Amino acid sequence: MTVSATAATIPEAQPYRWRWIALFVILAAEVMDLLDALITTIAAPTIQRELGGDNSLIQWLTAGYALAMAVGLITGGRLGDLYGRKRMFVIGAFGFTAASLLCGISGSPEMLIVFRVLQGLFGAVMIPQGLGLIKEMFPPNEIGKAFAAFGPIMTISSVGGPVLAGWLIDADLFGTGWRMIFLINLPLGLAAAFAAMKFLPEFRLSNATKLDLVGMLLVSVAAFLLIFPVIQGQELDWPAWTFVSMAASIVVFAVFGRYEAARVRKGKDPLVTPGLFRKRAFTSGLIAGLAFFSGMVGFGVVFNLFTQAGLGWDPLQAGLAGLPQAVGGVIGFGIAMSGLQAKLGRGVMQIGAVVMAAGAGVLALFIHLYGMQIGYWQLAPGLALVGIGMGLTMAPFFDIILAGVEPHESGSASGTLTAVQQLGGALGAAVLGTLFFNLLKSQMAFSDALQLTILVEIGLLAATFALSFLLPKFARPGADGH
């Protein structure tokens, strides 16, 4: 995760008294966000079966949340600068909890998608505040320990999230079924919000300027014009307007870029600093991130469709099937952080992309050999390799891409990179999900459709590998090759 730069600091001699309790509150919010980004990939087939809706519902449950997060994260940090980080964290936590309740009581696919988007928007308000507060609460000698807590929390959430979702659906607590995956946020969210009111300090920037509302609107429209037709097109048999919409998204993105440049010329703060896109390393990193996260999230959506709709496994079985990948991710991250990252820099990313592609190839081979008779033990080797490669790739990812960014650009660069991570997730769910459904519509077997989808993921990993050569070799300023 990345943190936007801020001018507010706490004197080193007087660190904030409740900083460790405040860190626990912030981590609780992170857990909610991470779980909700993962759980619907397991629950989607059950939700579709019980609530109705076409295949696009399965894609929108992931893409809608990720798209809302992508757009909201660009401005979420600025809201904290303007109105106070504690205040916006509390608003985000209460809003996220309320949106979770609305998701849990939704009576139609359309309602659920709308409330899922609302969840993502409030999450984008909440998450940047907590990350920024850590830099302001902790003295330099403790800040490393504070951020180190995120690794285990993210790992436990990624391992436990799908399994928890499967168990909650199978357990059918109080007759709620799939709805409990959202309702479980109520006690967590309320506890985080009330604890934040008591233990989080208040900070805001004294020199913060107004929000770039026009820029926010432009980038939101551009992203929607791209994602919406990709998801809905396969259900409607690709009418002409879907291609017009995708072309229009490129035009609106270009208008957004020109508008942001004009704001800079007028001396106003832009939503995204245009100068960042003149840096080859940063731009290449954004494209690499878009390819990597598209493949990673898109594969997760398709794989869970294969296990449940294809193999007929229940949600808990599907969640357990993904454990080798999650455990592999922990191993890969641990290997990278054990000293390999310091020695190899971007080489760790490159090794990770190769290992991940090899794992995807092994998975495709076993699916080809065993077809619809494949079981846990045949899926495990490929998934474990995919996870190890994923951990190796993600460990140095943000630091390497941000290495060439100037200090005064770090806030905008961090927000943009995190937003592209979420946009990649939305795009992956849309594109790979659409490809998978189109293959099934052509009467192709589930196993064959998954193999072809995996080949696309390998192509995206190859793009990530190639683009990585344009990044700085090391994250440390002044390191060799930087």
pLDDT averaged over every residue in the chain: 85
Mean pLDDT over residues 9-26, rounded? 74
Query: Would you state the structure tokens that stand for residue 434, as one six-digit string?
Result: 């659409």
User: Residue 2: inside a domain, yes or no?
Assistant: no
User: Residue 62: inside a domain, yes or no?
Assistant: yes
Mean pLDDT over residues 255-271, rounded? 87
For the chain, give the percent of residues with pLDDT over 90: 35
Rounded to whole angstroms, the Cα distance separating 372 from 445 reads: 9
Q: In 129-167, which positions are buried (b, 16+ CB within 10 angstroms) versus exposed (e)?
A: bbbbbbbbbbbeebeeebbebbeeebbebbbbbbbbbbb
**Amino acid 258: pLDDT:** 92
Amino acid at 107: G
Rounded to whole angstroms, the Cα distance separating 92 from 29 reads: 10
- With a CB cutoff of 8 Å and minimum separation 6, the contacts of 254 are none
**Amino acid 118: pLDDT:** 95
User: Residue 397: inside a domain, yes or no?
Assistant: yes
Query: The pTM is what?
Result: 0.82
Q: Please indicate, yes or no, whether residues 174 and 233 belong to a single structural domain of this protein.
A: no
Q: What is the DSSP letter of 298?
A: H
For the chain, give the percent of residues with pLDDT over 70: 91
Helical ranges in 84-149 per DSSP H: 85-104, 109-137, 140-148
CATH code, domain carrying 476: 1.20.1250.20
User: Residue 7: inside a domain, yes or no?
Assistant: no
User: Residue 6: inside a domain, yes or no?
Assistant: no
Q: What is the pLDDT of residues 142-177, one digit of tens each?
A: 776 776 677 667 767 766 778 888 898 988 888 888
Q: Please indicate, yes or no, whether residues 262 and 292 belong to a single structural domain of this protein.
A: no
Of the candidates 198, 233, 268, which is a domain's last residue? 268
Query: Would you state the structure tokens that stand for residue 421, as one six-digit string?
Result: 């991570």
**Amino acid 5: pLDDT:** 40
Report yes or no: 201 and 16 within 8 Å, Cβ to Cβ. yes
**Amino acid 369: pLDDT:** 94
**Amino acid 144: pLDDT:** 67
Total number of domains constituting the chain? 3
Question: 245: pLDDT confidence band, cut at 50, 70 and 90?
Answer: very high
Q: Please indicate, yes or no, whether residues 224 and 311 belong to a single structural domain of this protein.
A: no
**Amino acid 408: pLDDT:** 66
- With a CB cutoff of 8 Å and minimum separation 6, the contacts of 359 are 328, 381, 382, 383, 384, 385, 386, 387, 388, 389
**Amino acid 159: pLDDT:** 67
Q: Please indicate, yes or no, whether residues 175 and 259 belong to a single structural domain of this protein.
A: no
Residue with tokens 């004294």: 206
* CB atoms near residue 399 (< 10 Å): 15
Mean pLDDT over residues 325-337, rounded? 87
Q: Is the pLDDT of residue 405 over 80?
A: no
**Amino acid 117: pLDDT:** 93
Question: 195: pLDDT confidence band, cut at 50, 70 and 90?
Answer: very high
Q: Is the pLDDT of residue 82 over 90?
A: no
Mean pLDDT over residues 27-44, rounded? 84
Domain span at 302: 277-482
Q: Please indicate, yes or no, whether residues 249 and 348 belong to a single structural domain of this protein.
A: no
Question: 4: pLDDT confidence band, cut at 50, 70 and 90?
Answer: very low
Q: Please indicate, yes or no, whether residues 301 and 250 belong to a single structural domain of this protein.
A: no
Query: Would you state the structure tokens that stand for residue 67, as one six-digit string?
Result: 């798209």
**Amino acid 477: pLDDT:** 46
Question: 395: pLDDT confidence band, cut at 50, 70 and 90?
Answer: confident
Q: Is the pLDDT of residue 476 over 90?
A: no
Higher-pLDDT residue of 318 and 402 is 318
* CB atoms near residue 376 (< 10 Å): 14
Report yes or no: 145 and 15 within 8 Å, Cβ to Cβ. no
User: Residue 94: inside a domain, yes or no?
Assistant: yes
Q: Please indicate, yes or no, whether residues 343 and 326 belong to a single structural domain of this protein.
A: yes
Q: Please indicate, yes or no, whether residues 244 and 318 belong to a single structural domain of this protein.
A: no
Q: What is the DSSP letter of 481?
A: T
Question: 278: pLDDT confidence band, cut at 50, 70 and 90?
Answer: confident
**Amino acid 7: pLDDT:** 40
**Amino acid 148: pLDDT:** 64
| Residue 263: alpha-carbon gap to chain centroid | 29
Rounded to whole angstroms, the Cα distance separating 97 from 172 reads: 21
Q: Please indicate, yes or no, whether residues 238 and 151 belong to a single structural domain of this protein.
A: no
Nearest residue to 63 via CA among 291, 294, 221: 294
Q: Please indicate, yes or no, whether residues 325 and 442 belong to a single structural domain of this protein.
A: yes
User: Residue 5: inside a domain, yes or no?
Assistant: no
Q: Is the pLDDT of residue 3 over 50?
A: no
Mean pLDDT over residues 67-96, rounded? 86
Q: How many alpha carbons lie under 13 Å from residue 114 in its C-beta half-sphere?
A: 8
Helix (H, G, I), strand (E, B) or coil at 52: coil
Mean pLDDT over residues 99-111, rounded? 94
User: Residue 290: inside a domain, yes or no?
Assistant: yes
Q: Is the pLDDT of residue 410 over 70?
A: no
Question: 271: pLDDT confidence band, cut at 50, 70 and 90?
Answer: confident
| Pick from 9-13, 346-350, 375-379: least confident | 9-13
Phi/psi of residue 211, each to 5°?
-70, 150
Q: Please indicate, yes or no, whether residues 471 and 411 belong to a single structural domain of this protein.
A: yes
**Amino acid 12: pLDDT:** 46
**Amino acid 190: pLDDT:** 94
Mean pLDDT over residues 288-309, rounded? 90
Q: Please indicate, yes or no, whether residues 182 and 244 belong to a single structural domain of this protein.
A: no
| Pick from 393-397, 436-440, 455-459: least confident | 393-397
Mean pLDDT over residues 382-405, rounded? 86
* CB atoms near residue 30 (< 10 Å): 20
Q: Is the pLDDT of residue 77 over 80?
A: no
Q: What is the pLDDT of residues 213-244, one digit of tens each?
A: 898 889 889 988 988 898 888 778 888 999 99
**Amino acid 183: pLDDT:** 93
